[in-house]
């Protein structure tokens, strides 16, 4: 669907000749001399690279319709991940490369919003924080209370995060899915 660059909004998906992009920022500029233009910052939905692009005001671009569906992660199957649509109960096997880093934060039964363009999964929206159990970490020593000191901990999904020294194996912790950092005990 074609529309004018004057109608660009943040979060909008564009189907440009060099790929599928999401608008991160935009600014309408009207210089004193010459024609108006729209300066944008775009994120490639497939590679996650951010690029800056300038369009003439009123230039026509194609909008990509991204279907967002809440799905539940069921299980890992070979090199793919099986999700179930929460509305239609259809099951979908998605290759690991389409999910990016999302599998590091998902355990069986968790929900995520999958963004689909045609038959292709282009992005995964996770909750801001997830609760995961620590499967392996060094024990904390009595009196080991250096402020800000950290140690590595392996979580149930296999991701390794830095946690404070007082955190023990078997504890549930909250992890920020945007940065991969420890937030607090769950």
Tens-place pLDDT, residues 113-141: 998 888 888 888 888 888 888 898 888 66
Q: Which of 45, 62, 79 is the last residue of a domain?
A: 62
Read off the tokens for 29.
């500029």
Give residue-wise pLDDT tens across range 146-179.
667 788 889 988 889 988 888 888 889 999 888 8
Q: Are 57 and 6 in the same domain?
A: yes
Number of domains in the chain: 3
**Enclosing domain of residue 161:** 129-185
Backbone angles phi and psi of 76, in degrees to 5 = -90, 135
Q: Are 88 and 134 in the same domain?
A: no
- What pLDDT is attached to residue 178? 84
Q: Which of 125, 143, 174 is the last residue of a domain?
A: 125
Q: Report d(CA 103, CA 181) in Å as an integer.
A: 16
- The H helix count followed by the E strand count for the chain is 1, 16
Specify the pTM.
0.73
């Amino acid at each position: 669907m074609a529309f004018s660059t004057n109608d660009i909004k943040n979060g909008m998906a564009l189907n440009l000749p060099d790929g599928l992009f999401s608008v991160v920022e935009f600014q309408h500029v009207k210089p004193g001399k010459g024609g108006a233009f729209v300066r944008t910052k775009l994120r490639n939905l497939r590679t996650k690279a951010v690029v800056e692009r300038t369009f003439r005001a009123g230039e026509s671009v194609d909008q990509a319709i991204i279907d967002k569906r809440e799905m539940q992660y069921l299980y890992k199957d070979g090199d793919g991940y099986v999700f179930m649509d929460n509305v239609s109960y259809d099951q979908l096997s998605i290759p690991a490369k389409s999910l990016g880093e999302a599998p590091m934060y998902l355990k069986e039964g968790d929900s995520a919003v999958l963004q689909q363009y045609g038959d292709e999964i282009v992005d995964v929206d996770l909750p801001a924080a997830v609760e995961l159990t620590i499967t392996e970490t060094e024990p904390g020593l009595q009196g080991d209370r250096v402020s800000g000191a950290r140690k590595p901990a392996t979580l149930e999904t296999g991701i390794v995060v830095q946690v404070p020294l007082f955190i023990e194996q078997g504890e549930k912790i909250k992890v920020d899915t945007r940065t991969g950092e420890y937030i607090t005990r769950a």
